[in-house]
Amino acid sequence: MAQLWGGRFTGETDRLAYEFNASIDFDKRLLCQDVEGSVAHVTMLAKQGILTEDEKESILRGLQNILKDVEEGRLEIDDSCEDIHSFVEARLIERIGDAGKKMHTGRSRNDQVALDMRLYTRQQVCETDALLKKLLEVILKVMEENVETYMPGFTHLQKAQPVTLAHHYGAYFEMFRRDRQRMADIYQRMNLCPLGAGALAGTTYPLDREYAASLMEFAGVTQNSMDSVSDRDYLIEFLSALSTIMMHLSRFSEEIIIWNSNEYQFVEIDDAYSTGSSIMPQKKNPDIAELVRGKTGRVYGALMSLLTTMKGLPLAYNKDMQEDKEVSFDAMDTVRGCLTLFTGMLRTMKFRKERMAESAMKGFTNATDAADYLVGKGVPFRDAHAVIGRLVLYCIERQTSIDKLSMEELKGISDKFEPDIYDAVSLETCVAKRLTTGAPGLEAMNKVIKQYKEYLTES
């Protein structure tokens, strides 16, 4: 139990208390960030004349060696130190002696951990953004290939009006594009360096905070030392954005599960992303989509957990904040995994286009257009609505669809029907006429696709 703070103590820490307090088990993943932060701190201390050039060189070499030894398996991060910060410092002192004892000059573990966590999260924000971009590229490809693939659009999970697959996927393009915008927004707000805040009240050493910040590519430094060591807003924002990504992924997953069901058969998930049953030989289950939907809960849980940890905490640092790590790391890992697998599943999924069109045709998704047809023949909309209602009932009773009725049958319901009704209620016409911006009509859709392409080449 090597501790950095033994001097003031006469008694030993209780073993269980030590373990309860320790964070090395999970903060060891901050090793790279801890070393990066120390490199910047020490470089700055030397520039300010607080350390000599020799001391700086020796510390930097020591730090790089520690990192390399861990990465190459020669040095194990065990539980002999309570956290990653103590571990790095203890190994450094072991290796380079007295110069190592000067590394922590003008710094506290409070600003150190605030920095490490920010560096780690900043990287995760970028990685999440890159994965979202890959997903958007797959969505856009499907859109380009399916501007004339017809399917029913739903409200209340009831067939409503015909749309295209491109249009349906476009809705998800919008969602994941907003998720990327949230990443950019979070990055910008969080990209300030807390190093130099000390334990809570800054330090008496003449630190150059701006210089240290620039070494780590921060846009600037935080402006209040108490806030610097106790701010976890950026993590909460990130967890909130991750929760929103999961909400989007789980909606998409749910639709794929429905589309993949025996009743719908709109899609076929590739074997690589399905599993079988140990008892029912006929089964091919959409497990990946189900797991993505299922894992949404733990990401929401992380957000709720950290919000609750932070609630009511007095300034400045409190040990409660150590609880930020496990839940956040789990949420970050979960979302990365889900985005990666979901993108692969989407890329390989096949569409059964005839089934989709047939389903749109059978579900009276053209009923609104049939009513609009009568309006075009001078029937007031309310009356047209009632006539088409009767027409739909007539079809249901005979298990047929509007386009299959004879001219005679149609005339029997309203003498306003002419032979051009058949074209008016075809899926092609129903979709083609919807040309308002954001609608599925071909020209409207192509304009949006062009814009999406530009967006993905620019950012």
Would you count residue 38 as binding ligand ARG (CB under 6 A)?
Answer: no
What is the closest distance, in whole angstroms, from the C-beta atom of residue 108 to ligand ARG in the complex?
7
Is 230 a binding residue for ligand ARG by CB under 6 A? The answer is: no
Coil, strand or helix at 292:
helix
Question: For residue 99, which of 140, 38, 150, 143 has the smallest C-alpha distance?
Answer: 38
3-class SS of residue 399: coil
CB atoms closer than 10 angstroms to residue 201: 12
CB of 3 to ligand ARG, least distance (A): 11
Q: Residue 321 interacts with ligand ARG (CB under 6 A)?
A: yes
Per CB under 6 A, 228 contacts ligand ARG? no
Query: Judged by CB under 6 A, which stretch of 58-66, 108-116, 261-269, 384-392 contacts ligand ARG?
Result: 108-116
Residue (156 or 319) nearer to ligand ARG, CB: 319
Q: Which residue is nearest to ligand ARG (CB)?
A: 322
Stretch that binds ligand ARG, among 69-77, 237-245, 318-326, 376-384 (CB under 6 A): 318-326
Q: Return the number of the residue (82 or 237) whose C-beta is nearest ligand ARG.
A: 82
- Decide if 38 is catalytic: no
Q: What angle do CA 238, 343, 137 make, to 5 degrees?
A: 90
Q: Does 109 bind ligand ARG (CB under 6 A)?
A: yes
Buried b (16+ CB within 10 A) or exposed e, 359-384: bbbebbbbbbbbbbbbeeeebeeeeb
Stretch that binds ligand ARG, among 107-115, 208-216, 234-242, 303-311 (CB under 6 A): 107-115
Rg (CA), the chain: 31
Q: How many angstroms separate the CA atoms of 105 and 413, rounded?
A: 90
Half-sphere exposure of 160 (CA within 13 A, CB side): 8
By the rule CB under 6 A, 23 interacts with ligand ARG: yes
**Residue whose CB is less far from ligand ARG, 192 or 199:** 199
Q: Which is nearer to ligand ARG, 3 or 426 (CB)?
A: 3
Minimum CB distance to ligand ARG, residue 327 (Å): 13
Is 449 exposed, middle or buried (CB count within 10 Å of its CB: 0-12, 13-18, 19+)?
A: middle
110 touches ligand ARG (CB under 6 A): yes
105's tokens:
């000059």
Cβ-based nearer residue to ligand ARG, 202 or 337: 202
Q: For residue 316, state whether it binds ligand ARG (rule: CB under 6 A).
A: no
- Which listed residue (80, 261, 277, 459) is catalytic? 277
Please tell me whether residue 108 adopts helix, strand or coil conformation. Answer: coil
Q: Is 305 a catalytic residue?
A: no
Q: Which residues have CB under 8 Å from 114's CB, separation 6+?
A: 194, 195, 197, 228, 229, 231
Shortest gap between Cβ of 204 and ligand ARG (angstroms)?
19
- Written as one letter, the residue type at 451 is Q
C-beta of residue 370 within 8 angstroms of C-beta of residue 413: no
Query: What tokens were used for 310?
Result: 């932070």
Q: Which residues pair with 138 in a beta bridge?
A: none
**How far apart are CB 232 and ligand ARG at their closest, in Å?**
10
Q: Is residue 322 part of the contact set for ligand ARG (CB under 6 A)?
A: yes
SS3 433: coil
Q: What is the bridge-based pairing of β-strands 350-351 and 158-164?
A: unpaired
Pairing of strands 267-268, 158-164: unpaired
Shortest distance, position 50 Cβ to ligand ARG, whole Å:
22
Q: How far is the CB of 365 from ligand ARG (least distance, A)?
A: 55
Q: What angle do CA 285, 162, 144 make, to 5 degrees?
A: 70
Q: CA-CA distance, 216 to 37, in Å (whole number)?
A: 8
Shortest distance (Å) from residue 28 CB to ligand ARG? 11
Q: Which stretch binds ligand ARG (CB under 6 A): 36-44, 208-216, 295-303, 317-325?
A: 317-325
Instruction: Give the interface segment with ligand ARG, choosing from 109-117, 219-227, 251-259, 408-416 (CB under 6 A).
Output: 109-117
Compute CA distances 401 → 157, 395, 397, whole Å.
20, 6, 10
Choosing from 23, 38, 80, 156, the catalytic residue is 156
- Is residue 365 part of the contact set for ligand ARG (CB under 6 A)? no
**According to the binding rule CB under 6 A, does residue 3 interact with ligand ARG?**
no
Candidates 81, 113, 132, 257: give the one binding ligand ARG (CB under 6 A): 113
Residue 250: count of CB within 10 angstroms of its CB: 21
Q: Is there binding between residue 88 and ligand ARG (CB under 6 A)?
A: no
Positions marked catalytic: 156, 277
Interaction site with ligand ARG (CB under 6 A): 23, 27, 83, 109-110, 113, 317, 319, 321-322
